[in-house]
Structure 1
Amino acid sequence: MMNLVREFFENLTALGSMIFHGIALVFLLFIDFTLFLKLLIALGISTVIVATIRFFYFKYRPLDKEKPKKFLHRLNASSFPSLHAPNSIIFALIVGLTLSTGLFVLLLILTVLIIYSRYYLKKHFIIDLAVGSVLGMIIGLIVALY
């Protein structure tokens, strides 16, 4: 049973990845250019902010004990803040608020599950997810409303 739960969260966490958001952006490019542009800008801002924080402040992930030596590996290996959290929230806010209320509610539920998956899989501490979530809410709301 635990293996099924773990597998569920491992698959779910992929929905918060840059690969998923990149695929969604390509799809949106042909469907709704304004939505594509808003999402691209917001995800770009989020990624730059998280990378900047990680550049200056390295924090080990819950199961890691050794700091990577290569620069790009350090950015990816750092736990603080989460990049899945803000990007999932940004996606839910911008896509959900633009398209429909029902979709917005569904995306919010999915976002909460994605964020929880990062904790369950021991990829982040609660503070990493909380800070990432606040960052995502701020960026997502600003971009969604303008």
Structure 2
Amino acid sequence: MIARQQDAPESLGMLPGLEEGKTRATPDGPKLLRIYDSGFVAQLAMPNARFFTVPADDGPVNTYVLDSTNDSFAVLSPDGDGWTVRQGGPVLLWDQVERSPALWHTAGAPGPSEFGVSVTAGSQRVWLGTPSGPSWSLPIV
């Protein structure tokens, strides 16, 4: 079955100002979001967020991760051989993204058949291994 296109939010949110958020080093760049297998679990950590890349005027190409539902953001910038992330808002998006593949790797990096979905009237969750295993909440529409 082909998955239907999800409706895009009316607004992706505002780009954060250059001084907003806290900056730290991260070993993972935006490639983490695009890799077939670990990218799936990375994106489970931020189901309401969208990411896109924008070149700076006289600088590097930055990747923005924006959650318009709560104004959380992460901005990834190349830094020598690694990356820096500047993030802010009520949810530290990149911290969530980094934790998600770590859980998956700890479980042995299982394939798609090891994931399941539980749906009730008030919740939707993707889980790994068993319904009581690691899980990620999805928005209810």
TM superposition score category, shorter chain reference: 0.3 to 0.5
TM-score (structure 2 length as normaliser): 0.33
Q: Which has the higher contact order (CA 8 A, sep 6+)?
A: 1
**TM-score, normalising length: structure 1:** 0.32
Higher helix share: 1
